[in-house]
């Protein structure tokens, strides 16, 4: 595809017997913001390191701006990398850190130009006035911004961010999310952002790429992935679905909640019914529900700002989560240790199974 700025073709990377990246193929367009979501050890850092050129893949090709860069050394790729631990120089000031690559690389810029560009990047990330501070005299969130400014100062067309917000508190994290997107729009760079957080992946990405055991298991817009997770594993990583094991047979799914017709099902090697947290309805234990009905004991609730999460034990330690969005009105309250009946509209459940078509 000609509009792709960046392309991976069947990239495999092994460490001994371990396949850290398994035949990864991906195309990224200009100005896209891509988030990579996957559990720890799924190959996210390895993927970025291969793209940056810090690791050579055993097979497959990496293309960037119309060029095969598989064998191009890292420092000649024009790709920026913001490391998970920031990797700042502790004895240098903010401005010296930001200008470091320009001063010590092959930028050919004069000292005055380096300073001008460093100041511009420091302004861009909102650290004006801190130029002369030592990086050991600023907060974690500010160090994060220095690391970003240092990378952006090199004017890369592609910026790789390895869990850049992991070390920040929740407040700062959501501010930085907005700022990263704003910077992307101002500078016209493509961002590949690795995260272990499903909230971050869904909030930030124009597209989300889900990784598991070195494989890309789904690529799509946040809406696609949220509405149509490709497998029980993706549904699990999204942290938005209750997963019920059971049996899919002749278009009906049988689980602890009873037997329910499932006209549509997605092929999978496991029979699983996935129900979004915000699709669960809670009825008194004595109710008669049409369709799925699961007896469960209320455990506790948690206030999340825009919604309330209610936790139920469906027996055998199976936790069922029910989310009430506060925009829909005040939440019902439930009695701890009391039994309730959980139900949902079966048409809103996503059924996976071995007998499904494809």
Closest CB 46 distance from ligand ADP, rounded Å = 3
Closest CB 191 distance from ligand ADP, rounded Å = 17
Partner that binds at residue 42, options ligand ADP, Mg ion, none, CB closer than 5 to 8 Å by kind: ligand ADP
Partner that binds at residue 15, options ligand ADP, Mg ion, none, CB closer than 5 to 8 Å by kind: ligand ADP
Contact positions vs ligand ADP (CB under 6 A): 15, 18, 20, 38, 40-46
Of 2, 74, 1, 10, whose CA–CA distance to 215 is shortest?
10
Partner that binds at residue 41, options ligand ADP, Mg ion, none, CB closer than 5 to 8 Å by kind: ligand ADP
Partner that binds at residue 110, options ligand ADP, Mg ion, none, CB closer than 5 to 8 Å by kind: none
User: By C-beta, is 85 or 247 nearer to Mg ion?
Assistant: 85
Question: What is the rounded end-to-end Cα distance, in angstroms, of the chain?
Answer: 26
Partner that binds at residue 18, options ligand ADP, Mg ion, none, CB closer than 5 to 8 Å by kind: ligand ADP
CB 93 within 8 A of CB 134: yes
Closest CB 198 distance from ligand ADP, rounded Å = 14
Closest CB 38 distance from Mg ion, rounded Å = 9
User: By C-beta, is 35 or 45 nearer to Mg ion?
Assistant: 45
CB 12 within 8 A of CB 58: yes
User: By C-beta, is 83 or 311 nearer to Mg ion?
Assistant: 83
253 phi and psi angles, rounded to 5 deg:
-110, 125
Strand locations in 221-293 (E): 241-249, 252-255, 258-261, 266-267, 272-276, 281-284
User: By C-beta, is 46 or 144 nearer to ligand ADP?
Assistant: 46
User: By C-beta, is 215 or 281 nearer to ligand ADP?
Assistant: 215
Bridge partner residues of 209 (DSSP): 36, 219
Closest residue to Mg ion, Cβ-based? 45
- Dihedral sign for Cα 274, 278, 282, 287, please: negative
CA distances from 140 to 145, 201, 318 (A): 9, 21, 38
User: By C-beta, is 42 or 144 nearer to ligand ADP?
Assistant: 42
Closest CB 51 distance from Mg ion, rounded Å = 13
User: By C-beta, is 40 or 306 nearer to ligand ADP?
Assistant: 40
Partner that binds at residue 96, options Mg ion, ligand ADP, none, CB closer than 5 to 8 Å by kind: none
Of 247, 222, 217, whose CA–CA distance to 32 is shortest?
222
Partner that binds at residue 43, options ligand ADP, Mg ion, none, CB closer than 5 to 8 Å by kind: ligand ADP
Contact positions vs Mg ion (CB under 5 A): 45
Q: HSE (CB half, 13 Å, CA atoms) of 13?
A: 27
- Read out DSSP for 111-173? HHHHHHHHHHHHHHTT-TT-TTSBGGGS-HHHHHHHHHHHHHTT--SEEEEESTTTTS-HHHH
Closest CB 189 distance from ligand ADP, rounded Å = 22
Closest CB 44 distance from Mg ion, rounded Å = 5
Q: How far apart are CA 349 and CA 342, in angstroms?
A: 13
Closest CB 9 distance from ligand ADP, rounded Å = 19
Of 6, 175, 154, 179, whose CA–CA distance to 82 is shortest?
154
CB 302 within 8 A of CB 326: no
Partner that binds at residue 54, options Mg ion, ligand ADP, none, CB closer than 5 to 8 Å by kind: none
User: By C-beta, is 44 or 207 nearer to ligand ADP?
Assistant: 44
């Amino acid at each position: 595809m000609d509009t792709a700025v960046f392309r991976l073709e069947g990239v495999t990377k092994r460490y001994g017997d371990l396949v850290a990246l398994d035949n990864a193929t991906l195309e990224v367009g200009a100005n896209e913001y891509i988030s990579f979501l996957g559990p720890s050890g799924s190959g996210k850092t390895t993927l970025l390191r291969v793209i940056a050129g810090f690791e050579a893949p055993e097979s497959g090709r990496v293309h960037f701006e119309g060029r095969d860069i598989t064998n191009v050394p890292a420092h000649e790729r024009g790709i920026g990398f913001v490391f998970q631990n920031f990797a700042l120089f502790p004895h240098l000031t903010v401005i010296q850190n930001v200008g470091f690559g320009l001063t010590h690389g092959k930028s050919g810029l004069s000292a005055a130009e380096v300073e001008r560009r460093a100041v511009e990047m420091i302004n861009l990330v909102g650290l004006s006035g801190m130029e002369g501070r030592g990086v050991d005299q600023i907060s974690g969130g500010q160090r994060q911004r220095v690391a970003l400014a240092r990378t952006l100062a090199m004017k890369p067309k592609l910026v790789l961010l390895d869990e850049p917000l992991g070390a920040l508190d929740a407040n700062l994290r959501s501010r930085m999310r907005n700022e990263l997107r704003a910077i992307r729009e101002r500078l016209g760079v493509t961002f590949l952002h690795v995260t272990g957080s499903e909230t971050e992946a869904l909030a930030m990405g124009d597209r989300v790429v889900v990784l598991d055991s070195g494989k890309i298991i789904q690529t799509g817009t946040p809406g696609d992935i949220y509405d149509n997770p490709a497998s029980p594993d993706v549904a699990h990583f999204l942290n938005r679905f209750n997963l019920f094991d059971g049996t899919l047979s002749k278009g009906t799914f049988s689980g602890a909640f009873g037997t329910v017709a499932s006209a549509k099902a997605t092929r999978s090697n496991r029979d699983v019914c996935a129900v979004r947290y915000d699709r669960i309805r809670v009825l008194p234990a004595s109710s008669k529900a049409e369709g799925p009905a699961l007896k469960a004991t209320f455990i506790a609730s948690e206030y999340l700002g825009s919604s309330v999460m209610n936790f139920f034990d469906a027996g055998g330690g199976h936790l069922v989560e029910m989310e009430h969005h506060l925009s829909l009105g005040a939440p019902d309250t439930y009695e701890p240790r009391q039994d309730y009946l959980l139900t949902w509209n079966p048409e809103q459940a996503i059924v996976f199974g071995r007998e499904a078509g494809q």
